[in-house]
Every structure is written in C-alpha cells, then in structure tokens.
Amino acid sequence: MPVAFPAIAIPKRLLMGPGPSEVDPRVYRAMTQPVVGYLDGVFLQAMDEIHAMLRAVFSTQNVATFPLSGTGSAGMEASLINFIEPGDEVAVVVGGVFAARMCEMVGRCGGKLLRIDHRPGTTADPDQVRQAVRGKNLKVLAVVHSETSTGVLQPLEPLKEIAQEAGALLVVDTVSSLAGVPVQVDGWGVDVCYSGSQKCLACPPGLAPITVGERAREVLRGRQKPVQSWYLDLSMIEKYWGQERRYHHTPPVSMLYALHEALRIVLEEGLEAVWARHQQCHRAFVQGVEALGLRMFVADPAARACTVNTVHVPDGVDDARVRGHLTERFGIEIATGIGDLRGKIWRVGLMGRTATPELVVLLLNALESALTANGFACPRGAGVAAAEKMFATQPQ
C-alpha cells in the first residue's frame, strides 16, 4: 500500500480568528462518548436536551429547533431553499461576503433576487431597505446579523417591521453572533434563524443549529413542489427531531454530543453573563488596538459586532507578516479579510472561550510585538494598559 502516513499531530494554536474558534476540553471529551444508534433511547434523550437548550440560546419557543447535519453554510442553504420556490421574490441585504453567498443560493433555487447593497463596514439603512422592497411581492427578506467578513452587527428590529409590512419571512444568519451577542428570535420576529457550531458556541465546525417559526412552517406546508434538496428538507428533518422520530438520515452522533456539551457550558454561565463578557472583551480590545495606534474597520462603535473584531491593516504594514509573527511566536491565529478586504483588515475573533480578559491582554501584547517587528511604531505597552484599565473600571 503506497500510503503510510503517521497519525495527525496538531500543534496547539490559539484560535482568535473569525472561526473556527477555541473548543472547550469538555467538548472534546464529550466527543469520545461511544457512538450509538440513531434511535437508541439514550440518544433520543440527548436530542431532546439539545432541542431544549437550542431553544434557550435562540430565545425562542419554536418547536422546529434543531441542528442540521452540515456546517453553517448548510444552515444558510436550508434557510433559503426550503422557503423559496422558483419565481419567488427574495430580498437580501448585502454588506459582505456571507450575505453575497445568500444571493448566490437564492439564484440557484430559482428565486427572483432583489439585492440591496450597502457599504461594507456599515449597517444597512432601514429606510433604504424599506424603499427597495416597496411594491414588491416579497416572499423572504434575508439578512446577516453579524457579518463575519466585515465585523458589522446589523440591528434586526427595524428589519422585522419591514418584513412584516411586506408580508415576507425574515431569515437571519447568526453564525457569528449566536451565544456572543443577544439574539432574540421570538422577540425580534425572526421567522428562520440559523447559526454554526464553531463560533461562539465553542464547538468544532460541522453543525448548523436552526430554528423555524410557525409562519415559516406554514410556508413549508404550503409549498407547490418539494424542496430541491432531500438532505436539507426541513419538513423531513423535523419529523426525526420531533416526536414522530421518523428516520431521515444518520445524524453525526459525535458532533451532537459535542454540541450538547457546548450548549451546557453556555447555559451554565448564563446567556446574559455570556453576552456581557463578549461585550466587555470587545470594548477592551478596541481600547487596546486604538491605543496601539490602529483603527477599527467599522467606524461606528454601535455598528460593531463584539464577536468578530475588524481592524485596518495600517499603511505600509504587511498583513501576512504580522499574522505569521503571531502564529510563529505566539501560536495565535487571526485572519485577514476575504474578498475585496483581503490584506486590508484583520479579523479577530473574541468568541466563546477567547472572549476573556486574559486572552485579550495576551493578544494585544502579541500584536504589539508583531507590529513593532514589522516597522509599525506602537507606544510600548499602551494597548495592554488601555485594555486593563477598561477591565478594571468595568469588572464583570
């Protein structure tokens, strides 16, 4: 046999990019629980618990709340194709790469796309959105809550009104916001909401939690044609997660163990405490990078996601060298921009386990070292000092 590879030996990294993010050792341990059959009573109970915990994290009473057997992009695809039939008008609010991906998916399932662009790094203006959808027979209004490519957090309440006025379903991507900043599915009138396991939930990538409200389920029941995807057909999947327990596909058992433990960890801390911690770490990080002489990419502080923090790469500084320094000297991973923003911004994830004062300080210190080594003069120790001051004045 020509292939004789050694076992994988992954060096320890500190994942402070936009995801995947750090995984709790308890979650790794949960994955070593033995795999069992997909109709085993102990497994069905774990599914029910995942269901209950996801409802708490999404702040919803939706019956149809479960993780899909794919990554966040599978969640995005399921959240669109199940509700769109050929010719349906679908508006997508676009300020970054992930919203643009939604547009591509709308086209592939035959939706009539109304793309409402706004400048990356800013939030969408609700008046502009209202104007754009006026007079349309809109089936879906889709929006990204926390745009992982730009670090913008889009307020959802104004969009809820617009969707309701238009009689459209509000579909929301919370891949990099869920369990990091408040997400109120019921309170905000979100009809379909999905996320990914590998961001603030601090779980490995591979699952896409989704929740579907009653209005959206009615749309499912009223479809003219079956959903084009069998694998992501929500009506079938909910019959496995619901009391019918009708077999659909073999679920990724070990990943579900992981999610079960990750949800327990979030709920043990409490959602409000989790949100406050992310908020505090974000603020301290912003104070720190500004004290180092850097500028945040999202100019308006109110428009920043606490979870994905985006920073301009200063003029004359080589993005890749700085990131290389962080990885080689400190084992820290942060990311560059994607699409047009490649090489222009850094994306720093303070999500789940990395949203702690210790790691914010560690990163600022490492960043100062990397910047200094790459010809950018930072005031020595200023970043750490600014962050520590913030942590001292706003203790959790």
∠ CA(390), CA(393), CA(394), 5° rounding?
80
Task: Rule CB under 8 A: choose which of 89, 191, 261, 368 binds a copy of itself.
Answer: 261
Task: Rule CB under 8 A: choose which of 63, 64, 65, 69 binds a copy of itself.
Answer: 69
Closest CA to 278 of 46, 21, 11: 21
Q: What is the DSSP letter of 304?
A: B
Do residues 159 and 129 touch, judged by C-beta distance below 8 A? yes
The CA dihedral of 173, 56, 238, 248, to the nearest 10 degrees, is: 90
Contact string 71-100 vs a copy of itself (x = CB under 8 A):
xxxx--x---x-------------------
Find the binding residues for a copy of itself in span 105-134 (CB under 8 A): 105, 107-109
- 3-state DSSP helix/strand/coil percent for the chain, to nearest 5? 45, 15, 40
Find the binding residues for a copy of itself in span 202-221 (CB under 8 A): 204-206
Residue 385 Cβ vs a copy of itself, minimum distance, rounded to whole Å: 30
Residues in the interface with a copy of itself (CB under 8 A) total 85
264 lies in the site for a copy of itself, by CB under 8 A = yes
Residue 112 Cβ vs a copy of itself, minimum distance, rounded to whole Å: 16
* Structure-token pair, residue 74: 């599978």
Q: Which is nearer to a copy of itself, 160 or 353 (CB)?
A: 353
Q: Where are the beta strands (DSSP E) in 244-364?
A: 308-312, 332-333, 335-336, 345-349
Sign of the C-alpha dihedral, residues 273, 353, 73, 223? negative
Q: Which is nearer to a copy of itself, 1 or 302 (CB)?
A: 1
Q: Which is nearer to a copy of itself, 163 or 311 (CB)?
A: 311
Stretch that binds a copy of itself, among 161-169, 214-222, 225-233, 385-393 (CB under 8 A): 225-233
Task: Rule CB under 8 A: choose which of 82, 150, 195, 198 binds a copy of itself.
Answer: 198
Task: Rule CB under 8 A: choose which of 95, 196, 209, 357 binds a copy of itself.
Answer: 196
Task: Rule CB under 8 A: choose which of 167, 187, 226, 379 binds a copy of itself.
Answer: 226
Q: Is 74 exposed, middle or buried (0-12, 13-18, 19+ CB in 10 A)?
A: buried
229 lies in the site for a copy of itself, by CB under 8 A = yes
